[in-house]
Amino acid sequence: MLNPEQLETTIKMLALAAAQIEATMIEAGESVSELSTSFSEIAEKFHHLDGHQDDTIVQVSRADFTALREQINQAIVAIQFYDRMTQRLHHVNDGLIETAGLLEDPEVSNTKWEALQDNIKKQYTMESERQMFDQIVSGKKLDEAIEIFKKVTANTLNDHSNDIELF
């Protein structure tokens, strides 16, 4: 049987999992829309170029080339979302599995619960995840933690809107 402190920790870990899933869904909608738009515009430009299949040399203006390159870059950034989503959902899954393991342990101690929290936090590679973890563990409500996540994510996206990270 869980003591009150262990029960409170369990509730926080479940809230953290819910917050991570919510954060993933928020980012998913934005990324899918951007990706769809980028690929549609790229396809349209290639279709236009393909219309010149005769023996004449197709002249592509620097502006067309720059616009196409920017759209490809935007598509790459949107695709990177899927890596973040996979990481986040993997972290949620691992945390839930570890939490379930502790709930099944009749000899569970506060030390094991603290170790669980440490293990979960160490998995996070993104600053927004670490901040969300800290917010939930410190007792913030789920909706408050999500709002903080949205602000941090919006600031990060604005600061790095032209960054491309290939992995």
List CB contacts of 106: < 8 A, sequence separation 6 or more: none
Please count the other Cβ atoms lying within 10 Å of the Cβ belonging to residue 95: 22
* pLDDT score of 1: 65
Q: What average pLDDT does range 3-27 have in this prediction?
A: 81
Considering the domain 4-159 in this protein, what is its CATH number?
1.20.1260
What residue spans define the domains of the chain? Answer: 4-159
Convert the pLDDT of each residue in 88-142 to its tens digit.
Answer: 788 888 888 888 888 878 788 889 888 988 988 888 887 888 888 888 888 888 8
* pLDDT score of 60: 65
> SS3 for 165?
coil
List CB contacts of 42: < 8 A, sequence separation 6 or more: 68, 71, 72, 75
Task: Give one DSSP letter per residue of 15-56, joined into a string.
Answer: HHHHHHHHHHHHHHHHHHHHHHHHHHHHHHHHHHHHT--SSS
pTM: 0.59
* pLDDT score of 158: 60
Convert the pLDDT of each residue in 50-100 to its tens digit.
Answer: 666 555 555 667 777 788 788 888 777 777 777 777 777 888 888 888 888
Convert the pLDDT of each residue in 29-55 to its tens digit.
Answer: 777 777 777 788 887 877 776 666 555
* pLDDT score of 166: 43
CA-nearest of 77, 122, 100, 127 to 13 is 100
CA-nearest of 137, 31, 42, 133 to 86 is 31
Tokens coding 135: 């917010």
